[in-house]
């Protein structure tokens, strides 16, 4: 015969102070874990949203990032004639680009943070699917004008529409703010390729070439052709693969957060265990009475174990509610690949909340198993004599 669940719920309500304090310990543990997972998930989403599966990023052989790559205009001319490249009218869809970093004061660091500056052609802007202009207008060729990502405009006071940024050989006017959805483009600044490369004395030492293949079947063949051509001396990979590899920026944060959460989880499990042991001691006569009424040891073990799970589930739900306001809040981390700041939004997904509740239930199970077994092993006469 099973003990009614209402019995466990009533006990949690009667011991409301102990219940709340134990649940809060679990809540804070779950909240720390979820905050870290939401941060890493937001960073991963930003990179996974970047890139087109039909597009290929070409860099100098041996380079792992655009910042350390160097591609000449001569190589670019050879790349444009490769078979399998899509065309925009009579023009092959190939964009020569230059990537560097500049330092700007941010809301978090008045001394400045590194930001990615990309010299790009109008065709390169067109090849960024989903990229729209939020306000202002696109930069004009040959002009000292830039368009900033919406995250840059939000986090850098000087990068506002109509203001001027000083880098390279002089001042550059912010003429527009672009919106790349959830992609990493929001953390970049775009300017005219020729003007930017001239300012940084890199007229021929550019960074990368972005190509678009005619169809998905052509992509592997085009990549192999580029990588096997020793004359070009380049490495090619899909644009999506390049950005997905950059999620390593959040790996250290994820491991550190999980480590801290595990330490806190041990403490929370002991707190839950202490609570349940105290409940067993106080309710000794109840346990004896339950045995007299015919409830088996297994029913009592399951009842106390279930009570611990209810307690931990409450903490898990509260932890989810505590972290939920972080959803879509913009933050940023430094990337070891681009050596610049990448802004993104916390992403508290349903999967992350489910993982948080499951984590809380594991803590409750670990904290409740031994007290539940202790309750089930009490002898009837001994339990009835306990005060």
Residue 239 lies in a domain: no
The residue from 172, 200, 215 where one domain ends is 215
Residues 210, 68 within the same domain: yes
pLDDT higher than 70, residue 383: no
Residues 34, 70 within the same domain: no
Residues 193, 256 within the same domain: no
Comparing 184 with 143, the larger pLDDT belongs to 143
The residue from 172, 190, 215 where one domain ends is 215
Residues 84, 206 within the same domain: yes
Number of structural domains, the chain?
Answer: 2
Residue 323 lies in a domain: yes
| Confidence at 184, pLDDT banded by 50, 70, 90 | confident
Residues 186, 287 within the same domain: no
Residues 201, 63 within the same domain: yes
Residues 210, 261 within the same domain: no
Residue 309 lies in a domain: yes
- Report, as an integer, the average pLDDT of 350-363: 90
Residues 205, 322 within the same domain: no
pLDDT reported for residue 138: 96
> Residue 247's CB: how many other CB atoms inside 10 A?
18
Kindly report, residue by residue over 243-257, the tens digit of the pLDDT: 887 766 566 766 777
Residues 267, 155 within the same domain: no
Residues 25, 85 within the same domain: no
Residue 241 lies in a domain: no
pLDDT reported for residue 382: 61
Kindly report, residue by residue over 194-215, the tens digit of the pLDDT: 999 999 999 888 999 999 999 9
Residue 232 lies in a domain: no
Residue 222 lies in a domain: no
Q: Domain containing 365: what range?
A: 5-47+248-385
Residues 28, 58 within the same domain: no
| Confidence at 342, pLDDT banded by 50, 70, 90 | confident
The residue from 215, 239, 269 where one domain ends is 215
Residue 42 lies in a domain: yes
Residue 139 lies in a domain: yes
Residues 58, 201 within the same domain: yes
């Amino acid at each position: 015969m099973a003990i009614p669940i209402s019995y466990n719920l009533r006990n949690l309500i009667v011991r409301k102070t102990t219940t709340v304090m134990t649940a809060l310990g679990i809540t804070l543990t779950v909240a720390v874990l979820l905050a870290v997972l939401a941060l890493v998930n937001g960073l991963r989403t930003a990179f996974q949203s970047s890139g087109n599966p039909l597009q290929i990023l070409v860099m100098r052989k041996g380079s792992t990032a655009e910042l350390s790559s160097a591609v000449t205009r001569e190589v670019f001319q050879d790349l444009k004639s490769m078979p399998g490249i899509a065309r925009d009218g009579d023009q092959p869809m190939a964009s020569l680009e230059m990537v560097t970093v500049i330092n700007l004061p941010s809301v978090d660091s008045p001394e400045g943070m590194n930001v990615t500056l990309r010299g790009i052609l109008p065709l390169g802007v067109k090849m960024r699917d989903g990229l729209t202009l939020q306000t202002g207008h696109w930069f004009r060729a040959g002009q000292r004008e830039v368009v900033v990502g919406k995250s840059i405009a939000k986090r850098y006071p000087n990068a506002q529409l109509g203001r001027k940024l000083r880098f390279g050989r002089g001042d550059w006017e912010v003429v527009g703010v672009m919106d790349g959805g959830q992609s990493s483009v929001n953390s970049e600044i775009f300017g005219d390729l020729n003007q930017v490369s001239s300012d940084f004395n890199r007229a021929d030492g550019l960074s990368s070439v972005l190509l678009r293949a005619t169809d998905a079947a052509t992509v592997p063949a085009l990549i192999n052709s580029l990588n096997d051509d020793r004359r070009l001396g380049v490495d090619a990979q899909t644009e999506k693969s390049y950005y997905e590899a950059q999620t390593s920026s959040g790996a250290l944060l994820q491991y550190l957060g999980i480590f801290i959460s595990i330490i806190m989880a041990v403490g929370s499990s002991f707190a839950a265990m202490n609570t349940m042991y105290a409940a067993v001691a106080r309710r000794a006569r109840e346990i004896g009475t339950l045995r007299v009424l015919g409830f088996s040891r297994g029913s009592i073990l399951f009842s106390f174990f279930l009570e611990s799970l209810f307690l931990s589930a409450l903490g898990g739900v509260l932890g989810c509610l505590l972290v939920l306001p972080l959803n879509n809040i913009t933050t940023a981390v430094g990337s070891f690949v681009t050596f610049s700041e990448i802004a993104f939004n916390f992403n508290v997904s349903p999967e992350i909340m489910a993982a948080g509740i499951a984590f809380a239930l594991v803590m409750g199970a670990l904290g409740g198993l031994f007290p539940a077994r202790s309750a089930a092993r009490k002898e009837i006469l001994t339990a009835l004599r306990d005060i």
